[in-house]
Amino acid sequence: MSANVELDEARHSALQQVAPRRKIPIRRLLERAVDEFIERADDEELLESSSRTARATGLKEKDASMIVSEWRKHRGSPGKS
């Protein structure tokens, strides 16, 4: 699926500055940003779910956070499968 995205001038200008420093096309920079946003949203949902479960089971939230961190290290990132 393909979609056109319109950006305001400030964001477009910022992308034009960042992309060459990263040595990647603007399109790839945007893809990476979207992938990171999706991963972060998934992680936040998982952490919230884990925290609820931890509170219900008596597991400390710190321990639940550590479990999520370990899971993140081993699961892989979007766009890399």
Q: Write the DSSP symbol of residue 80.
A: -
Cβ–Cβ under 8 Å, residues 11 and 26: no
**Percent of the chain residues topping a pLDDT of 70:** 93
pLDDT band at 81 (very low <50, low <70, confident <90, very high): very low
Reported as a pLDDT band with limits 50, 70 and 90, residue 28 is very high
Type of residue numbered 52: R
Gap between the Cα atoms of 32 and 29, Å rounded: 5
- DSSP per-residue codes, 52-70: HHHHHHT--HHHHHHHHHH
Judge whether residue 80 has pLDDT over 70. no
CA distance 77 to 81: 8
**Between 55 and 25, the higher pLDDT residue:** 25
Q: How far is CA 74 from the centre of its chain?
A: 15
